[in-house]
Structure 1
Amino acid sequence: MRIINSHRSFAILLLFCLGLGLFFSGQAKVAAVPREDYESLETFTNILAIVRKNYVDEVNTKELMTGAINGMLNSMDPHSGYLTPELYKELQMDTQGRFGGLGIEITVRNGILTVVSPIEDTPAFRAGIKAGDQILKIDDEFTKDMNLMQAVKKMRGLKGSKLNLSIKREGVPDLLNFSIVRDTIRVQSVRSRVLEEGYAYIRLAQFQERSDRDLQKAIEKLSSEKGGVKGLVLDLRNNPGGLLTQAVRVADLVLDSGMIVYTEGRLENQKQKYFARKEGSWTEFPIVVLVNGGSASASEIVAGALQDHKRAVILGTKTFGKGSVQTILPLDDNSALRLTTARYFTPKGRSIQATGIVPD
């Protein structure tokens, strides 16, 4: 059955719009687009027309297009996704206590929704959720066909509302069921104490906007106490990451020079190098960094940089391996793409993605 002819105007219009977009954004690069790309797009519009005309129930074209976009992005990697206008607005807005969460960082690993790490002193942490837990159901809905953005949306909700998770945990034969009450997530990024005279312990729970300043204040306070600081234990266990800029600034506090991290992507503006300044504040005393499978992203950047520069001994277990960069690309209809555009590498060129940081 051929329906292309009866719907050719729709296909031609879509192809024409694609051509205009490539022309204006790529400065007359339309000619470089392979012919098979246009042929594939024509096949897509033909299938869309067939579905709209012949499917057993009346279909919503907008929902079909959203599903097609999600399918395209999900086929690449679990961290890329489509943000509908509603979800994009929700992620941008200041919650002001109206929306709550569980306090977990999640990803999709081997097709299964997986906990990167629970964040300390949050509902998920207090309920007993652990790094590596596989989330099989959210409330009564199986997660098998959910993408990351859909799962995040499902977990967000009004402060005080309840959510049920069905968890598969390594080494536990039966499913674990958790009933968790959403709350506003406020994280105390830095906590510190003296282990014994001269030796400091600092817990960094997440890389937030003020983490570098809070860390510096903690070290200064500990340095002013009896014995000063002769050595530091920096605890990054179950730290799911956060801001790249903060990872760079935290590493910069204890490095006197050299590269901290670099990113590589297909485009030139996705290739970035980040260096330590030569006046790092705390470059003398020895450091031990604690990591585990819940240490991800920004935590891995710091651990990898200090390990490559032999500035610290890394102890614990292999980190999560979340070393990709996601960029939010707004669209004209107030929706957006969350697209993986680059990957992180340690100063010695080790990829963090999937491999993680292996302790010393």
Structure 2
Amino acid sequence: MSYISKRHGKLCLAIISIILFCVIGSGFYRDISAGDKETYKGLKMFADVIDLVEKNYVDEVDAKELIQKAIQGMVSSLDPHSQLLPPEAFEELQIDTKGEFGGIGIVITMQKGLLTVISPIEGTPAHKAGVKAGDIIVKVDGEYTKDMMLWEAVKKMRGPQGESVIITIVREGLAEPVDFNLVRDIIPIESVRYMSLQPGYGYIRISNFQDNTTSDLRAALKKLESSKVSLKGLIIDLRDNPGGLLNQAIEVSDLFVEQGDIVSIKGRQTKHTKIFKAHADINKHDYPIVVLINGGSASASEIVAGALQDHKRALILGTTSFGKGSVQTVETLKDGYGLRFTIARYYTPSGRSIQAQGIVPDIEVKYELMTDEKDKEDRILKEKDLKNHLDAEPFSDKKKLNEAGKDKKDTQDLNQTTTETRYGPLDPESLHSDSQVMRALDILKSYHIFSEIRG
């Protein structure tokens, strides 16, 4: 059809107005006019499709819902971490930076469209009921979870303390799906836990970076440093830490780095480019440090590991980290919606891009329980495996971009963000059976012995 009906034309203008309103509402303005031929032609085609579907599709459709899904598809095609956020998703985005929430206590991810349990958190309703790592949650309160957005699944399982939720799981070795009737409880988010592994050797686990992480870490260091035996070495465990607040990652790094850069972010816009510097701390933490990382260490945890590694302040041990070196911002749109999109890349003090590269440990040690079989860490998906992932560096021409695209794996768009991280209490027995922790402890003890020999 070579012409646009009056109704059709009005619809086109309405859609353009909606898009303009959303863009202006986010604080960013771009003049979309007939002069911008490609944009205008694209919007006209979009209006054509909406009109045809609305008039002729076999069932009635909601035009607003179609537009929202179209925007979601457009944004999610940019990279795995950009998305349109419905109002409910804003709440879930904020929860992990706070102190606690009502839920059942599991670490989950969306893998190949299936809601999969990474691990239950010790002492929580899910753990007590017998939910296991690898379980696939096929239903929540009778509603199928396949292809459900991760935040939707999270919202269905979270809720007030004392209220119940039924999850239906499929488990390898079981012939039929199994229902778990779980009563929600308060799941505390303690991002910092610590203990003394041996006199003079401390262990601190940081499970994520939330509002109070730095203050909690200071308190933990004070306790360890004030023990009867002076602190000779410290292990900082960032394994399976999915990240969190950028400012907390910077402040944590700043506790151990006296001067120089901690991290830099570089975006296309000048306002999205910044270098964060270290400051001398009144309390010196000048003992040797070993930082543990693995494929589940992402974003903020990679900033800390990269900063301490580049400044030769810590030895990094474990396996290569996840490789999420991109910076997202959330802008407010109409009706409570938000737009999360990528604005920059992270770089370590030496200028290394974390994106799709990860932090490579100084000493590679795969996880192994000394009394059990090896961990299946090789199967962990990383940033570079995600569909539409950003490259480590921006490309200046289309030829390079096309060549880079050939190397990308055609995997499903997977969201690696977990709903809860390693919030459970420390288990001394498990730590002493952990090959990575014990190797780190041996390194610290060896350092002390050699220092005494030299001194």
TM range (shorter): 0.7 to 0.9
CA-to-partner distance for each residue in 1:37-62, whole Å, 9 max, x for gaps? 11010110111111111112222222
8 A contact 2:327–2:342 mirrored in 1: yes
Q: Say whether the 8 Å CA contact 1:78–1:108 is kept in structure 2.
A: no
Correspondences of 1:100-179 after superposition (within 5 Å):
100-103=102-105, 122=124, 130=133, 137-139=138-140, 143=145, 145-159=147-161, 160-164=163-167, 166=169, 179=180
Q: Which residue of 2 aligns with 1:5?
A: 5
Distance 2:155 2:223 in 1: 40
2:330 aligned counterpart, secondary structure? strand
Looking at structure 1, the residues matched to 208 and 186 of structure 2 have their Cα atoms a distance apart, in angstroms, of 16
Question: Relative to structure 2, which stretch is displaced further, 329-338 or 134-143?
Answer: 134-143
- Report if aligned partners of 1:293, 1:317 keep a CA contact under 8 Å in 2: yes
Aligned positions of 1:14-33 closer than 5 A: 14-15=15-16, 29-30=31-32
The 5 A counterparts of 1:34-45 are 34-45=36-47
User: 2:225 aligned with 1:219, yes or no?
Assistant: no
More strand, by proportion: 1
Aligned pairs (5 A) from 1:1-360: 1=1, 4-6=4-6, 7-15=8-16, 29-30=31-32, 34-88=36-90, 100-103=102-105, 122=124, 130=133, 137-139=138-140, 143=145, 145-159=147-161, 160-164=163-167, 166=169, 179=180, 181-279=183-281, 281-360=283-362
Query: What is the DSSP-based 3-state SS (H/G/I as helix, E as strand, rest coil) of the residue aligned with 1:357?
Result: coil
Q: Residues 321 and 98 of structure 1: is their aligned pair in 2 closer, same or farther, counting only changes over 3 Å? A: closer
**1:168-195, Cα deviation, whole Å (9 max, x unpaired):** 8xxx788996845543331222222222
Query: Per-residue CA shift, 1:55-91, capped at 9, x if unaligned?
Result: 1222222222222122222222232222223443675
Output the CA distance in 2 between the equivalents of 1:227 and 1:240: 33
| CA separation of 1:109 and 1:38: change in aligned 2, threshold 3 A | farther
Find the residue that maps to 1:282 and give its secondary structure: coil
Q: CA deviation at 1:258?
A: 1.7
Report SS of the residue matched to 2:336: coil
2:322/2:356 contact within 8 Å kept: yes
Aligned residue pair count: 354
Shift of residue 269 of structure 1?
1.9
User: Matched residues in 1 for 2:113 and 2:248: separation?
Assistant: 30
User: Could you tell me how far apart the structure 1 residues matched to 2:356 and 2:125 are?
Assistant: 28
Paired letter, 2:73: G
Query: What are the superposed Cα offsets for residues 314-334 of structure 1, whole Å, 9 maximum, x if unpaired?
Result: 112222233322212111322
Which amino acid in the other structure matches residue 103 of structure 2?
G
In structure 2, runs of 5+ residues without a counterpart are 363-455
Q: What letter corresponds to residue 5 of structure 1 in structure 2?
A: S
> Cα gap change, 1:220/1:28 in structure 2, threshold over 3 Å: closer, same or farther?
closer
Provide the alpha-carbon RMSD of the alignment: 3.7
Partner Cα distance (1:119, 1:210) in 2 = 21
Q: Indicate the larger mover: 35-44 or 140-149.
A: 140-149
* One-letter amino acid of the counterpart of residue 272, structure 1: K
Q: Is the 8 A contact 1:243 1:298 kept in 2?
A: yes
- Structure 2 residue identity aligned to 1:84: P
* Cα distance, 1:287 vs structure 2: 0.2
Alignment partner of 1:333: what SS?
helix
Amino acid at match of 2:9: R
**How far is 1:349 from its partner?**
2.5
Q: Distance in 2 between matches of 1:104 and 1:342?
A: 31
Query: Quick one: distance in 2 between partners of 1:257 and 1:88?
Result: 36
CA displacement at 1:282 relative to structure 2: 3.3
What are the superposed Cα offsets for residues 184-243 of structure 1, whole Å, 9 maximum, x if unpaired? 331222222222222111222222222212211221222222221111111122222221
Structure 1 residue 256 displacement after superposition: 0.9
| Letter in structure 1 aligned against 2:138 | K
Q: CA deviation at 1:353?
A: 3.0
Cα contact 2:21–2:334 (8 A) shared by 1: no
Distance 1:279 1:240, change over 3 A: same
Whole-angstrom distance in 2 between the partners of 1:346 and 1:103: 34
Cα distance between partner residues in 2 of 1:28 and 1:338: 18
Equivalent position amino acid for 1:227 in 2: V
Segment drifting more, 26-35 vs 208-217:
26-35
Structure 1 position 293, deviation (Å): 2.6
Q: Distance in 2 between matches of 1:112 and 1:354?
A: 23
Contact 1:253 1:280 in 2 (8 A): no
8 Å Cα contact 1:254-1:283 kept in structure 2: yes
- Closer, same or farther in 2 for the Cα pair 1:165/1:320, shift >3 Å? farther
Letter in 1 for 2:245: L
Of stretches 54-63 and 115-124 in structure 1, the one that deviates more from structure 2 is 115-124
| Counterpart-to-counterpart distance in 2, 1:292 and 1:125 | 23
Distance 1:68 1:154, change over 3 A: farther
With over 3 angstroms needed to count, the CA separation of the structure-2 counterparts of 1:10 and 1:276, relative to structure 1, is same
CA distance in 1, matches of 2:340, 2:220: 35
Structure 1: give runs of 5+ residues left out of the alignment.
none
Q: Distance in 2 between matches of 1:11 and 1:149?
A: 32
Identity among equivalent pairs (%): 49
